[in-house]
Chain A
Amino acid sequence: MSPRLVRADRDAVRRRDTPLSITVDGDALSGVAGQTIAGVLLANGRRAWRAGPSGAPRGVFCGIGVCFDCLVTVNGEPDVRACRRRAADGDQVATQSREAR
């Protein structure tokens, strides 16, 4: 019961996958070159990675860079839209929160 990548060997577009690996809050996640950071997170079963002002969990909503729900920190750069940023091998992703501390 979770989002997943279409298997390459069954994909009608006949893609050839190049594996990559990123870390999210220190955990290693594997992905495929060409996926966005949001795509890697979703395909690894993570539906939420950001917290709204009340602490409510958020992930992808609009998927095209409009809603800013999916913001993450990538290699130290905060507020990157995970749905708009291709994952690069070795990317260090940190999740963000708008919760009042």
Chain B
Amino acid sequence: MSRNVVIVGAGPAGLAAAAAALRAGARVTLLDAAESPGGQYHRMLPEAFAAERPGRLHHGWAAFDRARRHVLGHPRCTWLAETSVWSLERRDPGDARPPRVHLVHGPDGAGRDRSVLDPDALVLATGAHDRVLPFPGWDLPGVFTAGAAQALAKGERLAVGDEVLVAGSGPFLLPVAASLLEAGSRVRGVLEANPAATVLRGWGARPRELASQPGKAAELAGYTALLARHRVPYRTGRAVIAARGDGRVEEAVTARLRADWSVVPGTERAVPVDAVCVTHGFSPQLELPLAAGCALRDGPEDGTAFVDVDDDQRTTAPGVHAAGEITGVAGAPAARAEGLLAGWLAGGGSPDAPELRAVRRRRDQGRAFARRLAAAHPVGDGWKSWLTPRTVVCRCEETTYGALCRAADDPAGGSDRAVRLGTRAGLGPCQARICGPAVAALLGGRVTRTATPHHRPVAQPIRLGELARPPKEGTP
């Protein structure tokens, strides 16, 4: 009897995992919250757009399109679009099976159906979203995450503004600027917060490793040429430290930064813009790994963490593999290699299969790339000095930096939990997905840390009416 493998997330990692598990002979259920596979990297246009040339906006479209058709059309694959895991139910201690998977199906709204799966193996490939550090005015309409600008441009052909600044840190700034230019925005600049010395030292060390990522290098060269053609300045050691405007962004304040991201006094400049797109790295979506009981390892910065996996992409939870950005931010090629390995082994494939050697090598190259990325684009502690007492830190509850500090200094408090309960930081609708790492970093060293900010017993919001109805039987 072939094994039942459930794969959560159909981005580069999940899609590769599905292909490999099918190859190993397993039956696969692949699910994603979106209508189409691809994840954020290969975010597809809606079918209703009837686009003749959807591949025009993508790198590696042909290979992705082949993989997508192969997996979705495979007789042993069940594809569940617009499906989310709202809960993972762990087995009794000693039971080696992965948790039961509780699903909710249908577009965001009320009245969705539920179902439950009992897999033999579970692959988590839930990806990541932008990490955005707070700064004065980041809650104004017109401040977007870089991922939002990218998703709107690539996914529904919308330019978020006419005059746009792209700021933060990491190579992701470049494809976002490219997407904005392609959609017709004027990009006033791309600001990398780290100084050139840090970026060059991070990327320049051990150049032999970089040669293993020719696709990434070509992609990067393409963006650089595009920025030059549009005369978009790429500045290092500069950041957006505030946004201002009456009810919406009208100007961004940029400033030169020291290596630790503190502001060089007197270098502030106001730039008139109608949109600001920001990213300071990525936050992995860790609620499902945590619900499954997977151990985490600390990330490079305070308050960041990733899923701990072994050489076979196995997590510490029985029957649960992890692949892609949740194990470390390394980009799509690394995610695909991890997915192939995870899917093959989850599907019952032999760990000694000869073709795995090349996959493991690519995975290891991906991990080296991740270390390089982290070294070239660290988050400097000095961002905390951008905040004023009135700066909103938790967007949902509008908890200010001042309120957080007062709660942290309250002798009756003493723990991060007490501060959260007292200020409501991280307790709003997003459940600390956006502010969690920032709040943890701001409280670090000031109060006792009791819990990870990624723990969410209900992984995705579900309505009481949906819970009240029994789940549908069998494979949905």
Contacts and interface: CB of A to CB of B under 8 A. Distances in A.
A68 to B, nearest CB: 4
B139 A56 contact: yes
A60 B52 contact: no
A2 B274 contact: yes
B102 interface: no
B307 interface: no
A42 B248 CA distance: 13
Contact of A67 (B107, B163, B433): B433
Interface string B121-158: 00000000110000000011111110111111000111
A74 B109 contact: yes
B129 A66 contact: yes
B265 interface: no
A64 B107 contact: no
A14 B130 CA distance: 29
B394 to A, nearest CB: 10
B429 A68 contact: yes
B430 A13 contact: no
Contacts of A4: 158-159, 184
Interface size classification for chain B: 35 or more
Contact of B48 (A33, A43, A62): A33
Nearest to B397: A53
A34 B156 contact: yes
A65 B398 CA distance: 19
Interface string A6-40: 10000111111110000000000000111110110
Contacts of B395: 52, 58, 61, 67, 69
A3 B51 contact: no
Contact of A18 (B48, B56, B275): B48
Nearest to B127: A64
A76 B334 CA distance: 43
Interface in A44-60: 47-48, 52-54, 56-60
Contacts of B434: 61-62, 66-67
A52 B430 CA distance: 13
A81 B274 contact: no
A85 B157 contact: no
Nearest to A49: B141
Q: Is the interface of A mostly helix, strand, loop or mixed?
A: loop
Contact of B40 (A57, A64, A77, A79): A64
B158 A43 contact: yes
Interface in B333-356: none
A72 to B, nearest CB: 10
Contacts of B275: 3
Nearest to A70: B148
A10 to B, nearest CB: 8
B263 to A, nearest CB: 24
B121 to A, nearest CB: 27
B274 A1 contact: yes
B33 interface: yes
A80 B147 contact: no
Given A6-B158, A86-B107, A61 B129 contact: no
Given A12-B182, A67-B395, A39 B156 contact: yes
Contacts of B31: none
Nearest 4 pairs of A and B residues by beta carbon: A63-B148, A34-B46, A34-B48, A68-B429
11 contacts: A2-B161, A12-B53, A12-B57, A13-B52, A17-B49, A60-B152, A62-B130, A63-B148, A65-B108, A68-B428, A68-B430
Given A15-B45, A35-B46, 11 more contacts: A1-B274, A13-B157, A34-B46, A48-B141, A48-B247, A62-B148, A63-B152, A64-B129, A84-B107, A85-B108, A85-B109
